[in-house]
């Protein structure tokens, strides 16, 4: 605006027609850019491709955001202001993205956020700014968009070994080693060598290590082995962010470890209202779904003490004090400082 005034003043004062024409052109451009900013504000928007994104803790992976331009001209100056925080955090962090989107296009880009803890991060978009090509006008556009980002633990497996396995001299592997089997009604299986296409969860890891041959368990139809895990959500006396992370990582590793040794895992926990939740684990996607439900659990998880019926069921129990129990007896007590190293050790169940 100041440039227009100076140009017009010089042209009028010194009677220079060229300056007067230049001032008129500047006024025209000024009006055109104002109308352009208004037009782009009406035609340019932003959206999340997914309502839920999944990433790993401390993973350098971006989440997706789309700029949408329904207009007939490109938008070269778009600012998206985002805020994000964990459910348990009050303070929200800000993130600013500057982008470009062509005419009648949908431009997808990735934005990166810090994910140092397991849980759910809520991302919000409340304002978008669009400017004309010269940056003379910036028009603000209110938005009300949100996205959840589920931050899962790194993929680790808990090495759970059962000591009650017996040996049958009649069954032997290809190298002549005796093959263990359980006398449990639901644990009948045969051992054979691994072939391409076999599921990894059916590999008999302990026996394969001893025989130096990759062996798999082959169950008769409808006689698979199932394990049970009770998740005790009662709040411990000390409950730091580090301990919460350790709990989620141990739960993830425990479910994957049990699922590797069985055809399925039944997970059970009590909600704050006392309602019993049960989920059958038939794949890694089910494991993530269990953690996602626990991430969404509100309150301080007051309820959740393991009952006598749970202890007599013969299953496992993991509590928020990082203790893993089997049949009511402590199998291993993890620590929040050393649990990653402790996960590397085998856990023998008597």
Q: What is the percent of the chain with per-residue pLDDT over 70, rounded to a whole number?
A: 80
Per-residue pLDDT tens digits for 51-82 = 899 999 988 777 889 999 999 999 999 999 99
Q: Backbone phi, then psi, for 273, in 5-degree steps?
A: -80, -5
Instruction: pLDDT band for 37, please (50, 70, 90 cuts).
Output: very high
Q: Is the pTM of this model over 0.85?
A: no
Q: Is residue 227 a contact partner of residue 207, using CB atoms and an 8 Å limit?
A: no
DSSP secondary structure letters along 264-332: EEEEEEE-TTS-EEEEEE-SHHHHHHHHHHHHT--TT----PPPHHHHHTT-EEEETTSEEEETTEEEE
The H or E element containing residue 136 is: none
**Rounded distance between C-alpha atoms, residue 62 and residue 54, angstroms:** 10
Distance (Å, whole) CA 57 – CA 147: 17
pLDDT band at 127 (very low <50, low <70, confident <90, very high): very high
Bridge partners (DSSP) of residue 347 are 160
Across 175-195, average pLDDT: 50
Q: What is the pLDDT of residue 216?
A: 76
Task: Assess contact for 120 and 86: CB atoms under 8 A.
Answer: yes
Pairing mode of beta strands 347-349, 160-162: parallel
Q: Which residues of 52-90 are buried (b: 16+ CB within 10 A; e: fewer)?
A: ebebebeeeeebebbbbbebeeebbbbebbbbbebeeee
Highest mean pLDDT among 3-17, 126-140, 201-215: 126-140
Q: Work out the pLDDT band at 213, boundaries 50, 70, 90.
A: confident
Question: 62-71, 112-121, 224-233: lowest mean pLDDT where?
Answer: 224-233
pLDDT in tens, 155-172: 999 998 876 543 333 333
Which regions of the chain does DSSP assign to beta strands (E)? 44-47, 52-56, 63-69, 75-86, 93-101, 105-111, 119-131, 138-152, 160-162, 166-172, 178-181, 190-193, 215-218, 226-232, 264-270, 276-281, 316-319, 323-326, 329-333, 347-349
Decide if 111 contacts 67 (C-beta within 8 A).
no
Mean pLDDT value across the chain: 80
pLDDT recorded at residue 200: 66
Compute the distance between CA of residue 267 and CA of residue 317 in angstroms, rounded to an integer: 10
Q: How confident is the model at residue 177 (pLDDT cuts 50, 70, 90)?
A: very low
Q: Which domains does the chain have, with CATH numbers?
A: 44-152 (2.60.40.1710), 164-218 (no CATH), 226-349 (no CATH)
CA 32 and chain centroid, separation: 46
> Which tokens is 253 given?
């590793």
- The mean per-residue pLDDT over the stretch 189-198 comes to 64
pLDDT, greater one: 23 or 110: 110
Please report which confidence band the pLDDT of residue 195 belongs to, taking 50, 70 and 90 as the band edges: low
Contact at 8 Å (CB) between 11 and 34? no
Is the model's pLDDT at 240 over the cut of 80? yes
What pLDDT was estimated at residue 291?
93
Q: What is the pLDDT of residue 298?
A: 59
């Amino acid at each position: 605006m100041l440039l227009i005034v100076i140009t017009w003043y010089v042209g009028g004062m010194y009677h220079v027609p060229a300056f007067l024409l230049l001032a008129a052109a500047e006024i025209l451009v000024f009006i055109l850019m104002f109308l352009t900013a208004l037009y782009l504000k009406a035609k340019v928007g932003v959206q999340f491709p997914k309502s839920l994104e999944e990433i790993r803790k401390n993973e350098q992976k971006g989440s997706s955001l789309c700029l949408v331009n329904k207009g007939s001209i490109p938008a070269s100056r778009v600012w998206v202001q985002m805020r994000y925080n964990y459910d348990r955090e009050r303070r929200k962090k800000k993130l600013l993205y500057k982008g470009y989107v062509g005419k009648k296009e949908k431009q997808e880009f990735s934005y990166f956020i810090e994910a140092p803890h397991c849980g759910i991060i809520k991302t919000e978009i409340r304002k978008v700014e669009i400017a004309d090509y010269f940056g003379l006008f910036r028009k603000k556009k209110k938005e009300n968009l949100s996205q959840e980002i589920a931050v899962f633990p790194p993929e680790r497996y808990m090495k759970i070994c059962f000591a009650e396995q017996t040996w049958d001299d009649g069954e032997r592997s290809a190298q002549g080693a005796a093959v263990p089997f359980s006398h449990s009604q639901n644990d009948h299986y045969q051992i054979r060598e691994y072939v391409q296409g076999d599921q990894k969860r059916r590999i008999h890891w302990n026996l394969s290590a001893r025989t130096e041959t990759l062996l798999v368990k082959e169950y008769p139809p409808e006689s698979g082995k199932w394990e049970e895990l009770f998740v005790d959500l009662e709040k411990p006396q000390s409950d730091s962010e580090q301990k919460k992370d350790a709990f989620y990582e141990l739960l993830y590793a425990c479910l994957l470890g049990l699922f590797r040794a069985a055809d399925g895992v039944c997970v059970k926990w009590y909600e704050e209202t006392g309602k019993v939740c049960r989920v059958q684990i038939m794949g890694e996607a089910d494991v993530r779904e269990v953690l996602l439900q626990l991430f969404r659990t509100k309150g301080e998880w007051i309820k959740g003490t393991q009952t006598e019926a749970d202890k007599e069921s013969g299953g496992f129990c993991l509590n928020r004090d990082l203790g893993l129990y089997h049949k009511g007896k402590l199998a291993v007590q993890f620590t929040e400082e050393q649990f990653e190293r402790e996960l590397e050790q085998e856990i023998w169940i008597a």
